[in-house]
């Protein structure tokens, strides 16, 4: 092994989420996207259930999806301001590719649902890391649409499926400053047997 530990962890140290508004063309080409997806689905998967799938939103279909979500947002809140209505309409139009990461819970399995959700969440995170490693930017978003039953129906989700996130992928249009991270020493404790 030639990399030092610092070199090996460089990708993780540089990882950040650029705003989806700052992600533009190009998206990964088909071969690059396929390679990214093959890597992204290499996640911990208790019971080999494959409790996840992906839905791609591209081109004019992203705009149609946003229009449908804006209609749903207005139905949920008729007092929604025009600015917020426009935000809903355009939410998925900035990045050239949006991947919807879907968790599909196997209710017949003894594997707890939370473990299945975490497996799907790892797919979303791997998409962020993989996109960055390939020179793209990616942002994982949820928002109200990830939890709305009518949006789930619009996406064709089954009874035991749920959106884990919308991963927006594209090329960075501007440099994004990193945010301050919590000190690890404030997060790590040591368990000791009290006996």
Residue 75 lies in a domain: no
Residue 34 lies in a domain: yes
pLDDT at position 6 is: 75
Q: Quickly count helices (H) and strands (E) in the chain.
A: 7, 5
pLDDT at position 8 is: 87
Domain count, the chain: 1
Q: What are the pLDDT digits (tens) for 118-158?
A: 999 999 999 999 999 999 999 999 999 999 999 999 999 99
- Find the domain containing 104 and state its range: 17-58+93-173
Residue 132 lies in a domain: yes
Task: Please report, for residues 26, 35, 58, 143, 180, the alpha-carbon distance to residue 63 in angstroms, rounded to integers and kept in the order given.
Answer: 17, 26, 9, 17, 34
Residue 86 lies in a domain: no
pLDDT at position 2 is: 62
Annotated binding site for FMN: 15-17, 42, 46, 140-142
Q: Taking the model in full, what pTM does it have?
A: 0.94
Residue 71 lies in a domain: no
pLDDT at position 1 is: 52
Residue 107 lies in a domain: yes
Domain at 159, CATH number:
3.40.109.10
Question: Which residues in the chain come in under a pLDDT of 70?
Answer: 1-3
Annotated binding site: 15-17, 42, 46, 140-142
pLDDT at position 178 is: 87
């Amino acid at each position: 092994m030639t990399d030092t530990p610092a070199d090996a962890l460089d990708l993780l140290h540089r990882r950040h989420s650029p705003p989806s508004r700052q992600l533009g063309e190009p998206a990964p080409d088909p071969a690059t996207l396929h390679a990214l997806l093959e890597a992204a689905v290499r996640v911990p998967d208790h019971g080999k259930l494959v409790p996840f799938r992906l839905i791609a939103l591209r081109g004019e279909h992203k705009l149609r999806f946003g229009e449908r979500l804006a209609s749903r947002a207005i139905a949920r809140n008729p007092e929604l301001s025009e600015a917020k209505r426009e935000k809903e309409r355009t939410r998925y139009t900035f990045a050239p590719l949006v991947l919807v990461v879907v968790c599909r819970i196997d209710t017949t399995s003894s594997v707890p649902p939370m473990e299945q959700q975490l497996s799907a969440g790892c797919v979303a995170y791997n998409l962020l890391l993989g996109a960055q490693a390939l020179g793209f930017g990616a942002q994982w978003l949820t928002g109200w649409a990830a939890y709305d039953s009518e949006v789930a129906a619009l996406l064709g989700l089954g009874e035991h499926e749920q959106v884990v996130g919308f991963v927006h992928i594209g090329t960075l249009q501007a440099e994004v400053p990193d945010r301050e991270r919590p000190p690890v020493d404030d997060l790590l404790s040591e368990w000791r047997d009290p006996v």
